[in-house]
Structure 1
Amino acid sequence: MNNRLLSLDVLRGLTIMMMTIVNNPGDWGHVYGPLLHAEWHGLTPTDLVFPTFLFIVGITTVLATPQKILNQETLQKLLTRFLRFFTLGLFLNFFSKIQPGSLEGTSLLLVRLAFTALIVVALFGNYNRRLQLFVAAGILAVLLVLAFGSFDAYASVRLPGVLQRIALVYLVVSLLYLSSSVQTQAVVGVIVLLLYWALMALIPVPGIGESSFEKGVNLAAWLDNLLLPGHLWATSKTWDPEGILSTLPAIGTGIAGLLAGALLTSTRTPAQKTVGLLAAGIAGILIGVLWGIVFPINKALWTSSYVLLAAGIALVLLAVLYAVIDWKNQKSRILPFLVFGVNPMVVFFFSGIIPRVLNGIKVPSPDTPQEIIGLQSYLYDFQIAPHFSDPKNASLAGALIYLLIWFGILYFFYRKKLIFKV
């Protein structure tokens, strides 16, 4: 781990820690504003989590591929990782839909956990690369058949998702990096953002009318509902925050990471790299804010202004971390962030499984023993919340306790030098 760019691991760790907190409050009805996504237009700290991770995906693509060779072996590696990422994300959407026969209760939960164990071995396992490719492709094919076949249990399973978008961005930016120069990557990034703006701002929405940036009546929502009817985000049902068209500007976020990676691996001095990251970050913030006047900053739409603003903030934060940690060699107190930063996929995947498992374990309510509640509700309502007078503080405490549990698990992996990659 000594040869790693520690500032990047710390930034990744910060991102994963923030993700863990915002995705796991004790009570969704009582959450501090900065730990929620913006209602629609606008930006909160929570809205920076996902783009920062995609930005890091771009940087790690450069760091992990010092020799730009695009051949059959490289393509196989890229496709395997893409399929593993995508299939893991899709399985998360399937987990609560798994329903063999008339099973329920503990028996059903055990079956779902058994399927999860198989998926973990198949998609996290380190074995023959070609076999990995076929296994991932096979599992993905089965899931898609279930989703699009005549199976009532899976008729409304969501197909887009966070890991699915990460997979798509990873594949595109990796191919772009291996087949083009830094200048070409920058040009493609600009074109992608301008193209998305033009599509969203200038093209009328079929069946609705003029172009719009409002919820559910924009071009991205129309395309989601046209191509994936019934398989979208359960909250909206007619559009998806990780939908099809908005993946285009998300590629721009990954390209921003490619450009940052090119700077970090250049022969420039640490001082020049720091200044370069800061200058690019400040420029991104300014242009993003100005563009936001006509193309609102919006995470759900992943607007081009949002791409620039979020990437700009990530660049400034990375510049500070790089200067302090990798340039000035100040590495005290970074261990908690490293622990989370070197094993992000474990947290990503299992944070989607654990709450569902806890809710699937039923226990009697202490207040009314005849009432059966989920274990997660029991732990929060009766073991955490009673110790706080402010429900928002109780909810935050629940999230922080969950974070500490993850720290214990990841610290064990860190000490044992166990890094789980997809």
Structure 2
Amino acid sequence: MTKDRLISLDVFRGLTILLMTIVNNPGSWATVYPPLLHSEWHGCTPTDLVFPFFIFIMGVAISFAMPTKTYDSTTFNKIFTRSLRMVCLGIFFNFFGKIQLFGLEGIPLVIGRLLITAAVGYALMGNFNAKLKTYLAVSILAIYLILAYSGIEAYKIVRLPGVLQRIGIVYFIASLLYLKTTQRTQLLVAIGILLGYWTVMTLIPAPGFEITNLEKETNLAAWVDGVLLKGHMWEATNTWDPEGILSTIPAIATGIIGLLIGQLLNGPLLKKDNAKKMAIIAIILISLARLWNTIFPINKALWTSSYVLYTAGLATLVLAILYYCIDIADYKKGIKLFLIWGVNPMIVFFLSEIIPQAMVMISFPNPKIPTNQINLLDYLYAFGVQPFFNNPMTSSLIFALIYVGLWSLLLAYFYKKKMYFKV
């Protein structure tokens, strides 16, 4: 049994996914407006809100998906399989560009990779019976791990962590907490995680260092990643991962806060009282975050405890405003765009990562410099968008907005046909 959808939550999810698509697809990474980039290290830009907002939204949605809190083996298997499917979809992003097929190169190799993508996407988002869903997810994960640790050159450094992987883990733990514990216990678990993570990160130095620190490559979380994920981390550094093992633990607290807000919205209070209470909670969380920031800085890559409170507070505030406007005041003008994005997030997550990778793999002579090669993605930007704007940052943003526009047309079609892609 599921509760009726909360329109404001769908709109919030749509806003978040849409912003994610914009920040992930600039015309050129060299010319991006600063708010559309992650913080260099400590601090928080609008881009740094996307990931925690999505985890928060997922937490809120859990109580709407399972309002009766019925727990049995069937429910557990459904939660486990859905989590595993998300993890597998996320890992595939990292494998896509490394797939080798019978010595193929160029466009034939890209076509082969896309055919495998279609097969994996269908296996992980297709509507099969529960047993087959589980079998396929477990089998695909096993294949990933075998390839990653097989010694095959193409997969020696394939990354294993990632955004969907973390979302899947948080969903699994938050769902079980929701079904098996009280709200008081959930709150205590979140507090314990945040205080415990703060303690570990600031009192336990990484082996080889006499004192603790929160620098990029010498903090405890980076050391844990280096030991347990060696060779399979973020390729930009290969020394730590922004979605690493230790920093995933406080992300669970982000999901729990969303879970508690969802239960508030499903509770006995009147809608106006819910909105007021959310606004108060938001102010408290943001205030506590700003205080904690003085000794444990807000940091997305480390997912610090202050970052959890700050982003969860902002997410609660945004949801409170949307909830009041849409679900209380019944003001729905202009929400359709965000709604069509919000009800179909998984297909965007999956294909919006794959399509640009595929376009980069298709190269041909550069019309301006025939001796040089240019990939299809750069060609479309350099010859289709960039010449029309004097400001390179503006042209880079317009390219991302065009990509969003194309996705909006596709999602509008899916929405009209009632086609929803879920794991």
Tell me the TM-score range normalised by the shorter chain.
over 0.9
Q: Which residue of 1 aligns with 2:166?
A: 165
Answering whether residue 349 of structure 2 is matched by residue 332 of structure 1, we say: no
CA distance in 1, matches of 2:307, 2:350: 26
Is this contact kept in 1: 2:83–2:172, CA < 8 A?
yes
Structure 2 match to 1:397: 398
Q: Deviations over 1:80-126 (max 9, x none)?
A: 10110000001110000101232110111111111101101101100
2:417 maps to amino acid: K
1:368-409 Cα distance to aligned partner (Å, 9 max, x none): 334331111110001100000010001011111111011011
Q: Could you tell me which residue of structure 1 aligns to residue 57 of structure 2?
A: 56
**Which residue does 1:197 correspond to in 2?**
198
Rounded Cα–Cα distance in structure 2 between residues aligned with 1:153 and 1:2: 46
In the alignment, residue 213 of structure 1 is paired with which amino acid? Answer: L
Could you tell me how far apart the structure 2 residues matched to 1:249 and 1:175 are? 17
Deviations 1:19-52 (A, max 9, x none): 0000000010000000000000001000000000
* Alpha-carbon distance in 2 for matches of 1:58, 1:210: 36
Counterpart of 1:70 in structure 2 is 71
Question: Counterpart of 2:149?
Answer: 148
How far apart are the structure 2 equivalents of 1:361 and 1:153? Answer: 19
Aligned to 1:120: 121
SS in 2 for 1:281: helix
Residue 216 (1) aligns with residue 217 (2)? yes
> SS where residue 48 of structure 1 aligns?
helix
Amino acid at match of 1:146: L
- Which residue in 1 is equivalent to 2:183? 182
Aligned mates of 2:288, 2:401 — CA distance in 1: 35
Question: Partner letter of residue 405 of structure 2?
Answer: L
Residue equivalent to 2:88: 87
Q: Distance between the aligned counterparts of 1:334 and 1:319, measured in 2?
A: 16
SS at structure 2 position matched to 1:102: coil
2: CA distance between counterparts of 1:210 and 1:245? 18
**Residues of 2 paired with 1:335 and 1:410: CA distance?**
11
> Equivalent residue of 1:99, what SS?
coil
User: Residue by residue, what CA displacement relative to the aligned partner does 1:295-352 show, whole Å, maximum 9, x if unpaired?
Assistant: 0000000000000000000000100000000011111110000010000011111111
In 1: Cα distance, 2:234 partner to 2:133 partner: 29
| Alignment partners' CA distance in 2, 1:324 and 1:24 | 30
How far did residue 177 of structure 1 move? 0.5
Partner of 1:27: 28
CA distance in 2, matches of 1:284, 1:211: 26
Per the alignment, residue 37 of structure 2 pairs with 36
The superposition leaves residues 262-321 of structure 1 with CA deviations (integer Å, 9 ceiling, x where unpaired) of 110011001110011101111110000100100000000000000000000000010000
- Please list, as runs of the form range in 1=range in 2, the aligned pairs for 1:203-282 lying within 5 A after superposition: 203-282=204-283
Letter in 2 for 1:394: S
Aligned mates of 1:101, 1:235 — CA distance in 2:
28
- Pair 1:345-2:346 in alignment: yes
Per-residue deviation, 1:2: 11
Q: Which residue of 2 aligns with 1:312?
A: 313
> In 2, distance between residues paired with 1:66 and 1:412?
30
Structure 1 residues 143-196: Cα deviation after superposition (integer angstroms, max 9, x where no partner)? 101001121110000000000000000000001100001111001000000010
Distance in 2, Cα, partners of 1:59 & 1:28: 33
**Aligned CA-pair RMSD:** 1.1
Task: Determine the C-alpha separation between the residues in 1 that align with 2:363 and 2:239.
Answer: 33
Does the 8 Å CA contact 2:3/2:67 hold for their aligned counterparts? Answer: no
**Matches of 1:327 and 1:312 in 2, distance apart?**
21
User: Quick one: distance in 1 between partners of 2:55 and 2:277?
Assistant: 20
| SS of match in other structure, 1:210 | coil
Q: Over residues 206-252 of structure 1, what are the superposed CA-to-partner deviations in whole Å (9 max), with x where a residue is unaligned?
A: 11221111111000000000001010001111100000000010000
Q: Which amino acid aligns with 1:62?
A: S
Instruction: Tell me which residue corresponds to 2:382.
Output: 381
State the TM-score, normalized to the length of structure 1: 0.99
Post-superposition offset of 1:70 = 1.6
Q: Give me the whole-angstrom Cα distance separating, in 2, the residues matched to 1:280 and 1:128.
A: 41
Match of 2:107 in 1: 106
| Cα distance in 2 for residues equivalent to 1:387 and 1:74 | 54
* Alpha-carbon separation, structure 2, partners of 1:235 and 1:208: 23
Q: Which runs of 4+ in 1 moved over 3 A?
A: none
Partner SS for 1:373: strand
Distance 1:190 1:382 in 2: 52
1:365, 1:2 → 2: CA distance? 54
In 2, Cα distance between equivalents of 1:230 and 1:399: 32
Q: Which amino acid aligns with 1:418?
A: M
* Pair 208,101 (structure 1): closer, same or farther in 2 beyond 3 Å: farther
Partner of 2:46: 45
Check conservation: 2:100, 2:109, Cα contact below 8 A: yes
Q: Percent identity?
A: 52
* Paired amino acid for 1:399: A
SS at match of 2:419: coil
Gaps of 5+ in 2: none
Q: SS at 2:364's partner residue?
A: strand
Per-residue CA deviations over 1:41-69 (Å, capped at 9, x if unaligned) read: 00100000000000011011111001112
